[in-house]
């Protein structure tokens, strides 16, 4: 099942210990329809304002995230909700208004032993100028990865060797070379070049699969 409707009581296991009551404040104050997803690799969460004639704010979060990443992503989307309530669609999605709101929403969760020390330090640095995604801050992204389940077969693009193939969003790419924060990659099917964030998590292809891809060209 790609999506799962989540009763609020069922949300607690997805959150770090000590954060549930503070998160519930927003669900008591606002009508929020929360959906957990399982199949998104590049978008960790999403916010949509109420549809015409309705009152529920739509928020979705990847249910496969570790607890710390889940909390940060959920608060990221709640900051979008609060920015919308205050400014409607008159401001940029990740402009200064959202940045200030996200800082205001996330800051109360710091200093409460909700996050491990190394992760809290990365979050504090990130909050000085929040990016559109935690993936956009290499320090925070790497700190969050330390708490991912060890069963994952995904690796960051920056750890893929030049010339090797990997899969991302259903497409096969060849890594051309690593730049400072991004990698230059070629879409095997179209031949187009792309720049992929070095911290983006991808599926490396083994030799047999690479041979199959090459033989189908």
Say what the pLDDT of residue 136 is.
75
Residue pLDDT, tens place only, 61-101: 999 899 999 999 999 999 999 999 999 999 999 999 999 99
Q: Under CATH, which architecture does the 155-215 domain have?
A: Roll (2.30)
Residue 126 DSSP code: H
For 2-29, give one letter per residue: b (16+ CB within 10 A) or e: eeeebeeeebeebbbeebbebbeebeee
Q: Can you name the residues that pair with 70 across neighbouring β-strands? A: none
Whether residue 2 is predicted with pLDDT greater than 90 in this model: the reply is no
Residue 103, phi-psi category: left (phi > 0), alpha (psi -120 to 50), beta (remainder):
alpha
Q: CB–CB of 14/67 below 8 Å?
A: yes
What's the mean pLDDT in 129-154? 82
Residue pLDDT, tens place only, 157-198: 988 999 999 998 889 999 999 998 889 999 999 999 999 988
pTM here is 0.75
- DSSP H or E stretch at residue 26: helix 20-29
């Amino acid at each position: 099942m790609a999506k799962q409707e989540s009763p609020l009581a069922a949300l607690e296991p997805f959150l770090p210990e000590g954060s549930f009551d503070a998160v519930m404040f927003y669900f008591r104050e606002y009508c929020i329809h929360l959906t957990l997803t399982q199949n998104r690799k590049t978008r960790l969460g999403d916010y949509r304002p109420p549809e015409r004639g309705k009152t529920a704010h739509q928020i979705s979060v990847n249910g496969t995230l570790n607890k710390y990443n889940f909390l940060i992503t959920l608060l990221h989307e709640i900051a979008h909700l609060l920015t919308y309530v205050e400014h409607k669609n008159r401001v940029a999605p990740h402009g200064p208004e959202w940045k200030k709101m996200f800082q205001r929403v996330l800051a109360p969760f710091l200093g409460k032993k909700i996050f491990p020390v190394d992760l809290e330090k990365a979050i504090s640095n990130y909050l000085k100028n929040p990016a559109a995604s935690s993936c956009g801050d290499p320090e925070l992204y790497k700190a969050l990865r330390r708490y991912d389940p060890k069963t994952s077969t995904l690796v960051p693009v920056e750890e893929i060797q030049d010339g090797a193939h990997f899969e991302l969003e259903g497409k096969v790419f060849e890594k051309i070379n690593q730049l400072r924060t991004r990698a230059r990659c070629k879409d095997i099917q179209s031949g187009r070049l792309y720049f992929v964030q070095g911290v983006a998590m991808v599926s490396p292809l083994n030799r047999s699969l690479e041979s199959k891809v090459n033989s189908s060209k």
